């Protein structure tokens, strides 16, 4: 067997521990990523022309542009060590996206990794249910995030309930995508497992009490209806929302009730304070920012007197602008716009027993994540930002297969 086939297969196999580690271990993720990158570099050395030909696309231009704009922010930084680490993280994320794009070169691979993600998510979500009933999850021993009095918010293996809700907002669309796949895509028993997985994911998402994730999922669902125009799908969504409200426990109903006054709630007021700090930082250096990965170090200098130090903007896009400037934010938004206007429409309408469901999941799961990032720290979390780069690699690759 030619060495290039062996290396390509090994690189693909490395994505399985890499994808699983994103849910519970940064160290295992780093090891898996290092092995994956090493194998891909050998593959590029063995067959450079064929692989580089796949990268001669607008995607490559936008990713390189974003990296260059991060580099330009170094001219403004006062914290070279932190910014150096930040450049490394950005570069690693971009390579994760590109190498995933390259190695996922047929639909069979997509089906295998898609199903693997569903199984991993099911395990993590079952762990969250254990945490919800016992107060502690079993994999890492994490306790719940406190909500009020004796009511907690499930986190599963994530540090905070809000981080877990970002993961769930993606996985909800993955399970729904599996259920929307044609009957020949999965045997009947697996379709029942995916249905159970969808219900558990929905329950866990509610149990995070994350209004930002709830609204992101609803908006992404609404946008999916624009493309699919499926009345049965709309009825299903309506029934699901009503059931979630009617059968919700008192604490959840109380949290749902705050949505109508969300602009006056404590968390939104708190976020407005944090966003005002970000805007003051942007005003200081609007074009190139204050330096990549320096937000936590610069933030104390832009706080109002008596304000609490949170170290994050709780709006990923404002934090990007504060660190690498409006020019850098434009570079990141260019990737998002390319995804929204050149990839989502095709993924949302992809045909095929497996392809239709997977395209739906890649498009609207990623979109829910991006919407949620407007009110939380998804783009600054080490696990979650790498989850986004990985999802983009899968989505861009799947889009190319069906273009």
Quick: pLDDT tens for 193-212.
Answer: 999 999 999 999 999 999 89
pLDDT at 244: 64
What is the pLDDT averaged over residues 163-167?
A: 97
pLDDT interval class at 349 (50, 70, 90): confident
φ, ψ of residue 285 to 5 degrees: the values are: -145, 80
Question: Does residue 262 carry a pLDDT above 60?
Answer: no
* Beta-ladder partners of 29: none
pTM, two decimals, is: 0.92
Q: Please state, in angstroms and rounded to a whole number, the distance separating the CA atoms of residues 21 and 386.
A: 11
- Does residue 353 carry a pLDDT above 90? no
46-60, 113-127, 172-186, range with the lowest pLDDT: 46-60
398: left (phi over 0), alpha (psi -120 to 50) or beta: alpha
pLDDT given for residue 273 in this prediction: 82
SS3 186: coil
Backbone angles phi, psi at 303, to 5 degrees: -90, 150
pLDDT of amino acid 3: 43
Instruction: Burial-class residue 212 by CB neighbours within 10 Å (0-12, 13-18, 19+).
Output: buried
Is pLDDT of 148 > 90? Answer: no
Using alpha carbons, select from 295, 306, 304, 301 the residue that is nearest to residue 377. 295
Q: Which pLDDT score is estimated for 352?
A: 74
Query: Average pLDDT of the chain?
Result: 88
Q: Sign of the C-alpha dihedral, residues 156, 157, 159, 163? A: negative
Model confidence pLDDT, tens digit, residues 32-41: 999 999 999 9
Which pLDDT tens digit goes with each residue over 228-254? Answer: 766 666 676 667 666 666 655 666 656
Res. 190: pLDDT tops 90:
yes
Percent of the chain scoring above 90 in pLDDT: 65
User: How many C-beta neighbours within 10 Å does residue 377 have?
Assistant: 21
Question: Mapping DSSP to helix (H, G, I), strand (E, B) and coil, where does residue 100 land?
Answer: helix
Are the CB atoms for 385 and 378 separated by under 8 Å? yes
Residue 108 has pLDDT above 70, yes or no: yes
Which tokens sit at 302? 């832009």
Inter-helix orientation angle 355-372/211-228, to 10°: 140
Q: Write down the pLDDT at residue 44.
A: 85
131 vs 152: CA distance, rounded Å: 10
């Amino acid at each position: 067997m030619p060495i290039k086939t062996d290396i390509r297969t090994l690189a693909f196999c490395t994505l399985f521990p890499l994808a699983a580690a994103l849910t519970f271990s940064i160290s295992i993720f780093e090891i898996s990523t290092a092995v994956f990158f090493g194998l891909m570099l050998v593959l590029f050395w063995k067959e450079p022309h064929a692989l580089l030909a796949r990268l001669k696309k607008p995607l490559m231009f936008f990713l390189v542009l974003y990296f260059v704009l991060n580099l330009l922010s170094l001219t403004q930084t006062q914290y070279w060590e932190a910014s150096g680490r930040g450049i490394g993280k950005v570069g690693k994320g971009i390579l994760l996206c590109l190498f995933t794009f390259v190695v996922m070169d047929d639909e069979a691979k997509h089906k295998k990794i898609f199903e693997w993600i569903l199984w991993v998510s099911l395990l993590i979500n079952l762990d969250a249910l254990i945490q919800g009933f016992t107060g502690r999850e079993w994999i890492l021993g994490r306790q719940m995030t406190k909500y009020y009095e004796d009511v907690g918010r499930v986190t599963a293996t994530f540090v905070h309930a809000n981080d877990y809700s970002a993961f769930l907002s993606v996985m909800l669309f993955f399970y729904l995508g599996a259920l929307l796949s044609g009957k020949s895509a999965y045997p009947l028993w697996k379709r029942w497992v995916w249905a159970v997985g969808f219900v558990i994911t929905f329950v866990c998402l509610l149990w995070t009490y994350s209004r930002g994730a709830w609204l992101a999922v609803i908006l992404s669902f609404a946008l999916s209806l624009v493309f699919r125009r499926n009345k049965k799908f709309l009825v299903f969504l309506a029934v699901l929302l009503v059931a979630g409200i009617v059968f919700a426990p008192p604490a959840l109903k109380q949290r749902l009730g705050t949505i109508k006054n969300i602009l006056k709630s404590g968390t939104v007021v708190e976020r407005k304070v944090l966003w005002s700090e970000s805007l003051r930082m942007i005003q200081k250096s609007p074009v190139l920012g204050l330096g990549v990965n320096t937000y936590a170090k610069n933030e104390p200098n832009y706080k109002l007197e008596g304000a609490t130090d949170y170290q994050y903007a709780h709006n990923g896009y404002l934090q990007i602008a504060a660190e690498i400037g409006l020019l850098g934010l434009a570079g990141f938004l260019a990737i998002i716009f390319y995804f929204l206007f050149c990839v989502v429409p095709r993924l949302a309408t992809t045909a095929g027993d497996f392809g239709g469901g997977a395209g739906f999941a890649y498009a609207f799961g990623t979109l829910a994540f991006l919407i949620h990032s407007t009110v939380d720290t998804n783009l600054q979390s080490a696990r979650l930002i790498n989850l986004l780069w990985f999802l983009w690699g899968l989505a861009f690759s799947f889009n190319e297969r069906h273009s």
